[in-house]
Structure 1
Amino acid sequence: MTDAISAAQSALGAMSTSMAVTANNVANVNTDGYKSQDARLSTGPDGQGTQVSSIVEDTSAGALRAETVAAENQAGAYEPQMDMVEMSNVDLVRQNVNMIQDSRAFEANVAVIRTADEMAGTLLDLRV
């Protein structure tokens, strides 16, 4: 029974990290040049539980947008010029799906811990 609890606890930690990475991506959706990240999960030690194996940065380019910047000309005066700026490559739809998956996995692992706790309580009640 403790194996089930420890496996669920490790999964809760992994889901928390994954949710934090997703939240960071959403918070930086309007940050120019930001590259989204993804938490990669793997099976824990001895085949028990879940752990974060790595956090990988998505290197694909973001969309470009025109921006007016002030640049100094030869006469030393500043005049507006158009420049292209790379926006973040965060896909909000994908981030939303990640949040839903992580929250459902979190709920499932909490249910495992709750059930194991109830089973232990019932077992102790039978022994008394």
Structure 2
Amino acid sequence: MSETNLSALSALGTAQAVSANNIANVNTDDFKASSVSLETGPDGWGVRVGAIQESTNAGPIVGDVELSNTDLGREMVDMITTSRAFSANVAAVRVSEEMTGHLLNMIA
């Protein structure tokens, strides 16, 4: 298995979890959405979570209450993008496993 793809799967899983948490709290008063920034892994290989940052933007005010600042449209786009990247990395891991299996069969 490719360590590069496995690190990407881990980082993308974290990004998906952060988006899911933001969506789950869209109706929570005073909730501040977070975002994940990804960066290149050690020695220029793979992907890792660079930071998880809480937004400082204010949510809408209704009466005397500040609502969540979660942007559902942005969260959905982020989740779709992350899901596609996750699927691509899973496919790469699967192909790597199949190639290893074929090589072992050829040797045997």
Percentage of identical aligned residues: 50
CA distances 1:83-105 after superposition (whole Å, capped 9, x unpaired): x2110100000000111011111
1:43 aligns with 2:40: yes
Query: If the length of structure 2 is used for normalisation, what is the TM-score?
Result: 0.97
Shift of 1:110: 0.4
Matches within 5 A, 1:75-94: 84-94=64-74
Match of 2:23 in 1: 26
Pick from 81, 88, 93 the counterpart of residue 108 of structure 1: 88
By percentage of residues, which structure has more helix? 2
Matched, 1:65 2:45: no
Q: Which has the higher strand share?
A: 1
Structure (1 or 2) with the larger CA radius of gyration: 1
Q: Is residue 117 of structure 1 aligned with residue 97 of structure 2?
A: yes
- The TM-score, its normalising length taken from structure 1, stands at 0.82
Moved over 4 A (4+): none
**1:36-78 Cα deviation digits (max 9, x unpaired):** 0001100000111100010011111110112xxxxxxxxxxxx
Question: Which residue pairs with 1:127 in the alignment?
Answer: 107
**Partner letter of residue 61 of structure 1?**
A
Structure 2 gaps, min length 5: none
Aligned-pair RMSD on alpha carbons?
Answer: 0.8
Aligned-partner Cα distance in 2 for 1:33–1:14: 27
- Structure 1: where are the runs of 5+ without partners? 67-83
Aligned to 2:75: 95
Letter in 2 for 1:28: N
Local SS of the residue matching 1:54: strand
Corresponding pairs, count:
108
